[in-house]
Structure 1
Amino acid sequence: MTTAIHVSGLRKAFGDKTVLDGIDLEVAAGTVFSLLGPNGAGKTTTVNVLTTLMRADAGTVRVAGHDVNSETKAVRATIGVTGQFAAVDELLTGRENLQLMADLRRVADGGRVIDRLLERFDLAEAAPKLVSTYSGGMRRKLDLAMTLVGDPSIIFLDEPTTGLDPRSRRTMWDIIRELLADGVTIFLTTQYLEEADQLADRIAVLDQGRLVAQGTPDELKRLVPGGHVRLRFAKPGDLDAAARLFAGSTRDVESLTLRVPTDGDTESLRVLLNQLHDNAIAVEDFSVHTPDLDDVFLALTGRTNVELTK
């Protein structure tokens, strides 16, 4: 894969406050890269630098192969940006908002492009209505449709689902997956850990201006201990026998369950099940539990997901 975004030694301060303190990251073309972090971590500042809206104090940033400082126009020609709040004009209709963007970007055959986007985002019926009558979810969809005018190859989504209801959020996820299938590169910032887990190929965790971890969702989860297999038995005798077999396990006599620590990989599961079989211990049910991104955040930043999403 080619590299869509390359960042090295990125630094940014506002007065005495350092917001970004030496950020290094790389985003492969045609993937979803998610930047996670609590409020004030520097996510929006990162996006502003990468999209030429703000100049860094130090470091190098290349987007689509272009330097964001010396090749600003070339960068802007290849990207689309959807900010934290829908950048739509409430005094215009949905179609007029898209037409305005098409005119600004000098899109050839703008009418056809607008019709296609209205259909894609299920906004054709609402197109002649003023945006002031739109719901929050409709505004976010229109905002993203406006971002796609001009067919950008890299899209920056800065907390695109903040404030949306669960149904609208999942609709936005489907749209992001469709863009990915079309080969678009997506740089996503979010406070919703489930969103990153569902969408991202790679995740970087930003805390107090520094990247504290990078990797795939599964790689990040493996950084945190706490994985276990939960075994449920039909007889107390089987529970007792299994508890003696697995050192460090924790039993629940009332529910006849046993919690056995494991990293959850296939080899460790195979060994565990073989041990039960070899000792003629019958298991009624078992399930594998691994740490989620909430656990990762708590371990890396000392913040819980409840604090994150305030």
Structure 2
Amino acid sequence: MGVGDVREITIGDCTDLYYVDTGMYETDEYGAVYILDDDRPALVETGIGTNHDLILAALEAVGIDREALEVIAVSHIHLDHAGGAGFLAEACPNAEVYVSGIGAPHLIDPSRLVAGTKEAVGDQWEFYTEPKPVPEDRITEIEDGETIDLGEHELRVHEAPGHAPHQVVFEDPANDAVFTADAAGIWVPSVERLEETSPPPQFDLEDCLADVEMLQDLDRSVLLYTHFGPRRTGEALEAYETVLTDWVEAVERKRVKLADDGSVVEHFAEATEMADVWGERKATAETAMNVRGVLAYLDRRE
């Protein structure tokens, strides 16, 4: 699947569901935005903002007018999920932006979010664009247990704070599916591999494992990853528990052996196995960010 491609999802019981590759970080199959074509058409996730025009083109390809879009559902406010919200709200004047109450103020005034993102992603910031604020009267705050009614489909909101306290996942019972945000890790379809996501400053291992358990309890047959794309659930959630636990233990062991945290970050960044998939620059930057998140978690735990 290439940048800008739009595909219908037909695995499992999925209907009326599409996704587009937004070309995030100039990388194929890294950032997805989903479209639900229902009585109240919806986007799930908004991308990084830079390529929001691809999302608008995807709506057109699916047959949804910009004026007809009613729901923009954001799993959390990290800019790779929410960076396009303001641009899309501006282009789709009848759409409400649904986001957690914790995250809502940062979409209305994204200045602190931008500063935190620049600190977390370093020189990857060149792939971003400054987000547009979302007007306060266009935001609907959502909480655990609430439902966004789309018609034939609904999005049930479940808190998933391990990755970040403002994260939720959206369960779609009609499709027997769940939009996983970052709660189930990163799915790399080209090599059928699960990768950890543990960015600073709010990654928490125990809470992440609790989020995976919550997803297991939902017992849906399809997982819809923002990073990247749909897959049958199978053993993915059990596997991600192992991936996360092994990852944190590996960083902790290396911290004991090396003289300083910078050396720990450098070790794992140089050892990444994802350069052939994402390119060396993205793979090393992703790994370095995830190491920093684990180190911050270990500091808090101590």
Fold conserved between structures, TM > 0.5: no
What's the TM-score once normalised by structure 2's chain length? 0.28
Specify which structure has the bigger relative contact order, considering alpha-carbon pairs within 8 angstroms and separated by 6 or more residues.
1
| Higher share of residues assigned helix | 2
